[in-house]
Amino acid sequence: MKLDPVSIRILWNRLISIVDEAATGLMRTAYTPSVKEYHDFCCALFDKDARMLSHSTVTTAGFLGIVPEVMRNFLGKFKASSLKPGDVIITNDPWVASGHLIDVSVAAPIFRGDELVAYTLCIVHHLDMGGRMSTLESKDLFEEGLKIPIIKLYEAGRLNETIFEFIRANTRVPEKILGDLRAQLVSLNVCSRGLLSLMDEYRIDGLEDLANEVIGRTEASLRARIAELPDGTYYNNVTLPPIPGVKEAIEVKAAVTVAGDEIIIDYTGSSPQVTAAINCTINIVRSYSSYPIKLALDPSVPNNDGGLKPIRIIAPEGSVINSKPPAATWGRTMIAHLFPEIVFGALERVMPDRVLAANGGSPANEVYLHGKQADGRSFMSIAQHTGGFGASARHDGYSTLCFPYNTRNIPIEVIENEARVRYLKKEFVADSGGPGRNRGGLGQELEFEILDGGTAEATSVESSVRISGRVETGVMPAFGRCGGSYGRGGGLWLDGKAVEHGVYRKLAPGQRVRFVMTGGGGYGHPLEREPNRVLADYLDGKVSIEAARNDYAVVIDEASQTVDLQRTLALRSARA
């Protein structure tokens, strides 16, 4: 088939639709909210040279730079010549795959007749892989659960039942873990079937020419955008918010070098790895560092291997950025989710119109809940809530929208159905969005109560609540950009008493957990915000009269619900 521009676009879109259909199959057959609602997964398609061609659009963005390395690592163990139809490879090794044990990667070769033509891969965040309850307290990987080396789950269509038995014996809710794993196999099958149908329909014998086109065009497009930036090295050094169980301050030092049509991000000088579950492995660092470059400079071109080629990551081994085994890694997103913000901070001066202010929900908030139902069955569930989106040069930040991890909100009805809890409050926090010409999105306040299970077995719930730990007065608040102010809010309380986040606890019926997610940072100076926009925020309940005056120098007459323009101009003139 001749690859003219029209046919390239058609086939390129089909490659994306194939992995999106695989993602749909995964969601519809999965057992847990982690997949069905949270969308913490990815599906990807590769040519026979293990070059990523397409990546599901419903996905966690942090996997974008991980899946190509996972596929290459799989083939480093099992050469292409040794693979057969019906093979499926599996691992959850943090250094081979996506950085912690609860992410399980599976991949399969795609054969057309006797010829290997492609590969498909699926990664899913599972709720449990044994070990300690999800917590930042683990000192090393051995406390965190079952590690599966690179191994064949299926060989020529025959299941290695021993792997399922190990998972079944080491997890708290094995029927759900294995259910989600089987859903991953569904996604592989859907992807394989879709690609073979495409090749038959268009009479394509191989994907190499098409791969060269889509990958080459993506790479060329991003390189052209990078080349528009001024050459130079730009720095951003940050100290992370305090981490439970870690006495030393965690520093991340970034030097971002623009050299022609390439970018080098060097994390040399960052803190050494620690004996707490926040250490990163190189794959996730590469992914969350490359992603913001592509997002800011060239967001409309679909993701594939080409979007990674112009970006190089340097991370010293033995640091929290590139830890060595057996470092504990469960909560590696406590650092990884901050890489886009750190990179944007470094490049704020050279591309101010393309960077976001900090997101109040980074790192991600996650609530893990485990216990017994009244009938003795175990439950394990995840809840996720986010803070305010950072503002940009063009827009206010969205309220309670995920960035940079791109997951979805899990409805409280789903959480209450899965676990023995009842939500008492879930509401926006007024004045939490960082003031600016464009305001940061609002954070939120939540509270839930542990329900009585009614039996001796169902007397408590095991819980771990992980929040960002960011507050306005802390060492790393939700920063504004270009004169914008910090996002506000943040904290975790148990029965009204402030407690550390990310720590395993047993909760009894009647106990209440409350937490506040921070608002996003603002963009531009607050006095540049038009008074009518401040008034609209007040009428919507997003900004109080006091905050309108204090943050924006806008005087609102409460009786008439209008801006007192004369007093506003006088107040702004006095502050200028």
Q: Tens of pLDDT along 321-348?
A: 999 999 999 999 999 999 999 999 999 9
Question: Mapping DSSP to helix (H, G, I), strand (E, B) and coil, where does residue 572 land?
Answer: helix
Q: Which of 216, 245, 264 is the last residue of a domain?
A: 216
> Taking the CB of residue 317, how many other CB atoms lie within 10 A of it?
10
Does residue 159 register a pLDDT over 90? yes
- Which amino acid does the sequence have at 188? L
Q: Are residues 374 and 510 in the same domain?
A: yes
Question: Mapping DSSP to helix (H, G, I), strand (E, B) and coil, where does residue 12 land?
Answer: helix
In DSSP notation, 200-248 reads HHTT-S-SHHHHHHHHHHHHHHHHHHHHTSPPEEEEEEEEPPP-TT--S
Q: Quote the mean pLDDT of the chain.
A: 96
Q: Write down the pLDDT at residue 576.
A: 83
Q: Are residues 25 and 95 in the same domain?
A: yes
**Which letter, b or e, does each residue of 527-538 get, where b requires 16 or more Cβ atoms within 10 Å of its Cβ?**
bebebebbbebb
- Tallying the residues shown for the chain, one arrives at 576
Pairwise CA distance, residues 419 & 302, whole Å: 38
| Inter-residue contact 497 to 461 (CB < 8 Å) | no
In-domain check, residue 274: no
Q: Angle at the Cα of 349 (from 362 to 224), degrees rounded to 5?
A: 90
Confidence band, pLDDT 50/70/90 cuts, at residue 1: low
Residues 248-284 pLDDT 10s: 899 999 999 999 999 999 999 999 999 999 999 999 9
Q: Are residues 462 and 544 in the same domain?
A: no
Q: Are residues 489 and 562 in the same domain?
A: no
Q: Write down the pLDDT at residue 61.
A: 86
pTM, rounded to two decimals: 0.95
In-domain check, residue 558: yes
Q: Are residues 512 and 546 in the same domain?
A: no
Q: Are residues 160 and 88 in the same domain?
A: yes
Number of structural domains found in the chain: 3
Pairwise CA distance, residues 515 & 519, whole Å: 13
Q: Are residues 365 and 512 in the same domain?
A: yes
Pairwise CA distance, residues 475 & 332, whole Å: 19
Q: Are residues 176 and 210 in the same domain?
A: yes
Sign for the CA dihedral angle at 272, 277, 283, 284 comes to negative
In-domain check, residue 62: yes
Pairwise CA distance, residues 544 & 537, whole Å: 8
- Percentage helix, strand, coil for the chain under 3-state DSSP, each rounded to 5: 30, 25, 45
Residue 550 lies in domain: 536-575
Task: State the DSSP code for 437.
Answer: S
